[in-house]
Amino acid sequence: MIFLKSDEEIELLRISNQIVAKTLAEMAKLIEPGISTGQLDKVAEEFIRDHGAVPGFLGYGGFPKSICTSVNEQVVHGIPSEKVILEDGDIISVDCGAFINGFHGDSAYTFCVGNVKQETRDLLRATKESLYKGIEQAEEGRRLGDIGFAIQHYCEERKYSVVREMIGHGVGRNLHEAPEVPNYGRKGNGVMLKSGMTIAIEPMINLGSRNLVFEKDGWTTRTLDRKPSAHFEHSIAIRRGKADILSSFEYIEQILGNKAI
């Protein structure tokens, strides 16, 4: 069942998502060669709690940490660890959730660590741009397939591949709600978008093949060919006209300045 949200509920979702956005900006301050993903997780959890929320991911389905940290060829759901030390040239996707006032926020950003190869930076830029191409299609009267098609067409035209197994989702009182939001599709297909729907759009795009494998921890997914993967996510509300982006990358990009993708 797809739950349509009232204007008041959407504003509560905005509060959750703004906490997530600011938590990701705290990550932007810290991400550099030598820091562990475990340290990032500790800072994220403390920041979320200091803002009156609780980490939306901690304990969700048994997930053991407050953020997902996926490095280089890891696609999503990487588990933070003191043993994983970021190195110059790495990329890291940080996926974050916060729960407050009965609603979940959910957003992700892929960061560069030090000096990253240009072809990898190009992948990050295209993935981020594809997110906004999808959001452009997210308005009342269109269909979910229009969002997926826009993302898929933009990335495949640039010779990147679109992950199929991991997709976006509805977001609200539950972290994952209906409908599923694939990053591929056909125009005019799928669920009709209605004002009040709130969804998380999150392209996961690979430099090489789209094929994935699960690591032994049962959570982390990585590319089969071990080539880099990028991931960007916004939570949005469907409106009559332009979509309302509830999360934000502005705080991150204020920190990164001219280093932003």
pLDDT at 119: 98
Q: Is residue 128 part of a domain?
A: yes
Dihedral pair phi/psi, residue 251, rounded to 5°? -65, -40
Mark residue 229 as left, alpha or beta (left: phi above 0; alpha: psi -120 to 50; beta: remaining): beta
Q: Is residue 2 part of a domain?
A: no
Q: Is residue 133 part of a domain?
A: yes
The CATH number covering residue 188 comes to 3.90.230.10
Q: Could you tell me where the beta strands, DSSP code E, fall in the chain? A: 54-55, 67-71, 74-76, 91-100, 103-112, 161-162, 168-170, 177-181, 198-201, 204-206, 212-214, 221-223, 229-231, 234-237, 244-245
Q: Is residue 1 part of a domain?
A: no
Domain encompassing residue 215: 7-259
Nearest to 200 by CA among 154, 241, 232: 232
CB 147 within 8 A of CB 134: yes
The per-residue pLDDT string of the chain (261 residues; one tens digit each, 9 = 90 and over) reads: 999 999 999 999 999 999 999 999 999 999 999 999 999 999 999 999 999 999 999 999 999 999 999 999 999 999 999 999 999 999 999 999 999 999 999 999 999 999 999 999 999 999 999 999 999 999 999 999 999 999 999 999 999 999 999 999 999 999 999 999 999 999 999 999 999 999 999 999 999 999 999 999 999 999 999 999 999 999 999 999 999 999 999 999 999 999 898
Q: Which contiguous run of DSSP H or E holds residue 24?
A: helix 7-30
Q: Is residue 55 part of a domain?
A: yes
pLDDT at 244: 98
pLDDT at 214: 96
- Counting the structural domains of the chain, the total is 1
